[in-house]
A and B are shown apart, each in its own frame.
Chain A
Amino acid sequence: QKEVEQDPGPLSVPEGAIVSLNCTYSNSAFQYFMWYRQYSRKGPELLMYTYSSGNKEDGRFTAQVDKSSKYISLFIRDSQPSDSATYLCAMFAGNMLTFGGGTRLMVKP
């Protein structure tokens, strides 16, 4: 079993839809949780960064962490074609940084 599991997709949604991206993890030592967006042929860019359980909102993006269930989510409201990319969850504890495999999202106009 991988330490971080993420559905690879692709996930295809119509423009304006609410998107839910998820990751589960097995290592309870993970303390910090991040979501990255990666466009094709580009390096990942940090979208959201959370530490504690609960929700964190930034514009159209909401990151949710449930440490008791070892489950994190990224919600995208009013999705746009420009949101089409691969979304990677990542988490770390100490010097151990682990990424999910990424979910490919396609938002169709």
Chain B
Amino acid sequence: GAVVSQHPSWVICKSGTSVKIECRSLDFQATTMFWYRQFPKQSLMLMATSNEGSKATYEQGVEKDKFLINHASLTLSTLTVTSAHPEDSSFYICLGRAGNEQFFGPGTRLTVL
């Protein structure tokens, strides 16, 4: 199957700092990118959906000014967690979609101290 990479795979940061997570589709063009968050032992929770070149659509309860999503190209989407707090500590996963197929990135574990 197609490959989606995520970087970094694990990040630890201090409260108040911003963290950028990159998601790249390596061998296909992701027209749509979904960003999910997963807390321990819980299911995936959709944060936002972005189409290449358009503004992201955020799910209810997700602050768009806190979680900045950029999908500037068909192979790269970024999620920036601004002014991170300990409650933002979670596993963030991107899902790239092209046509009827979609592939997850390996995930980024964010720990905010």
Contacts and interface: CB of A to CB of B under 8 A. Distances in A.
A43 B104 contact: yes
Nearest to B1: A46
A36 B1 CA distance: 13
DSSP class of B's interface residues: helix, strand, loop or mixed?
Answer: strand
A42 B107 contact: yes
Interface stretch (A56-64, A77-85, A94-102): A94-102
A71 to B, nearest CB: 19
Contact of B106 (A43, A49, A95, A99): A43
Interface string A69-109: 00000000000000000001000100101011110000000
Contacts, number: 40
Size band of the B side of the interface?
20 to 34
Interface string B77-113: 0000000000000010101010011111111010000
Interface in B42-56: 43-44, 46, 49
Contacts of B97: 97
A34 B97 CA distance: 13
A30 to B, nearest CB: 12
Interface of A: 32, 34, 36, 41-46, 49, 51, 88, 92, 95, 97, 99-102
